[in-house]
Structure 1
Amino acid sequence: MSGGKIITLKIDERDCGAGEEQTILEVARENGIAIPTLCHLAGLHPVGACRLCIVEVAGSHRPLPACVTKVSEGMVVRTQTPALLEQRRLLLEMILSEGNHVCAVCVVNGHCELQELALALGVDHVRLPGLYPPRQVDASHPRFTLDRNRCVLCTRCVRVCAEVEGAHTWDVMGRGLNSQLISDLNQPWGEAESCTSCGKCVQVCPTGALFERGKAGGEMVKRNLRLPLLTAMRNQETEEAGE
């Protein structure tokens, strides 16, 4: 629980205490209440991109993303209603229908957050027609590969590159179905002068969109648990530099 004023709220009929600057997601996780997420990652600024963490808040006419919604005194939150579960399943099916997510031939099969979410939400098939927009694979980098067909536009790579590494290599170009991940103003990744080849973007990617070269199906294991520590260290260095 963060410092400052302490407020009380209810999440799934459970009384919870929280700091006034905390989000619903933070308080829920502190109290052992599971809310699914895909774009969210501890140590990165939350953006509410995937909408899988939507919850019902009393007084609101629409579901709200838990990762960017601040708590308030007396708030009443529900996280597991039938309507929410169906909306999350539909959102996940929409994500799956927009790309190539054939797990059997993916380098992160068995280590994929999208795959884990599908299992948890009971999505064993997609009711929507596959869109399969033409998206290129960028294998120009000597160590890593970008497969845009498996990208879910969570922007984790964009944020870790900007907020933790400070390189600002990644961005998103286009709108809607034509949106895609780009490096250095749409240059091939291997030619991106800003890239430090640190690999942080690869480690925080929740799918097989970014992976180490030379990995076979199911071999790529992501390691993002050190991210909050790296973020804290960078913030400390920034504060010391400003003194």
Structure 2
Amino acid sequence: MVVDGLDCFFVSSMVHTEALLKVVSERIASLGHLPYTDFTVQRFSGLEQETRRMDVGNNSDWTAELRSCIVCYQKIIEFLQRLEKAMNIMVLIQLSFSMLNLCMALYQQTKIPDLSSALKYILYLPFPTMKIFFYCWAAHSVKEQGEEVSWAAYRCAWPDSNQDFRKNLAITMCRAQRPLLLTAGQIYPINKNAFVSLVKASYSYYTLLRQFEDK
């Protein structure tokens, strides 16, 4: 129960981090755009474009808002670093045991002649798989949302902004292009590719056991 509780805590922390990154992305993308404007669809008239360009160039509040977003982004990175430090060893152990449990469940299923007992092992199979999936899915979502911050910076109204705003925005984009990776034991990145690799490894170990048995 304690281990399952920690699993839920770590996964929910990663989901919460993804939500915070999404909020920061939306705040950055909205810089320079009017609150009521859907800037991906609506087009401005010539007069509106000119008024908007003048407001952006002279409005120092936008630079302050960008700096506020940068501070929030830095705090999110610090939180992720602490989270990764707290969970990386446990995640490595959890993923390893889940992979072995999946392998042994597959092997035991083929060894039991009783249909009812074999059915119990079949019903057990999704649980280690889901544990691996939730970790990999949550960590991968954090990585994708971290990359979205750079795209959000590109979508704001930077062409009409002043030089200081563009300089700060460029620094933000460069930092956001560095992936926010969570690892297992600081050696194995946790993502969707890791989930596929672990499931394949479980099946490979299962086939290896079957080959030893046949010999």
TM, length-normalised to structure 1: 0.25
**Higher helix share goes to which structure?**
2
Structure number with higher relative contact order (C-alpha < 8 Å, ≥ 6 residues apart):
2
**Higher strand share goes to which structure?**
1
